[in-house]
């Protein structure tokens, strides 16, 4: 089969997953993560190709893409910042971290920065209440309680340039 979106990298990830898991449906999420890594979004055509490749209903894959907020149809910025706003982070003033990040990146909540490097999202919980206000850049967890100045934020963001 020839695919436009399922390249060798993505198919290799699916094959590796199929070796570990007995059900092809168990490989949908790892495949979507790989598609997201490659394209920074989930093109509709990639979903259709994945459905064909795995021989699973298209609706099953679309249901996963629309349910989980980590998957997006629109082009993601290079770096995805998720800031927890749940009660412990709220009490620890996550808003201060948010404002510093917005200022330094030029991004706003739910929008890519003009240069396409940053996307900011408020989330309900990232499971790190002990270091509130916690936030993630891509999959890297940061302890917001140690951030006091804009220079601290600038140093962290510099790691992703």
Q: How does pLDDT run across 99-143, given as a tens digit for each residue?
A: 999 999 999 998 889 998 999 989 888 889 999 999 999 889 999
pLDDT in the model for residue 88: 95
Q: Which two tokens stand for residue 64?
A: 């996963």
Measure Cα distances from 110 to 68, 117, 132 in Å.
15, 13, 21
Give yes or no for a contact between 47 and 65, defined as CB atoms under 8 angstroms apart: yes
Q: Which residue carries 């997006």 as its tokens?
A: 72
pLDDT digits (tens, 9 = 90+) for 58-88: 999 999 988 876 777 666 788 989 999 999 9
- Candidates 67, 69, 83; CA nearest to 118 is 83
Q: Which two tokens stand for residue 85?
A: 């706003």
Backbone angles phi, psi at 9, to 5 degrees: -60, -50
Indicate whether this model's pTM tops 0.85: no
């Amino acid at each position: 089969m020839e695919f436009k979106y399922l390249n060798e990298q993505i198919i290799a990830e699916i094959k590796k997953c199929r070796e570990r898991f007995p059900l092809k449906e168990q490989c949908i999420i790892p495949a979507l993560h790989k598609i997201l890594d490659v394209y920074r979004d989930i093109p509709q055509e990639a979903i259709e190709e994945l459905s064909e490749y795995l021989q699973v209903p298209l609706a099953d894959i679309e249901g996963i893409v629309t349910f989980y907020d980590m998957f997006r149809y629109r082009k993601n910025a290079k770096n995805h910042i998720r800031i927890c706003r749940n009660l412990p982070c709220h009490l620890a003033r996550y808003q201060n971290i948010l404002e510093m990040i917005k200022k330094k990146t030029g991004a706003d909540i739910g929008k890519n920065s003009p240069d396409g490097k940053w996307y900011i999202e408020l989330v309900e919980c990232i499971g790190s209440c002990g270091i509130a206000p916690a936030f993630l850049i891509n999959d890297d967890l940061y302890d917001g309680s140690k951030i006091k100045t804009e220079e601290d934020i600038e140093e962290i963001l510099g790691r992703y340039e």
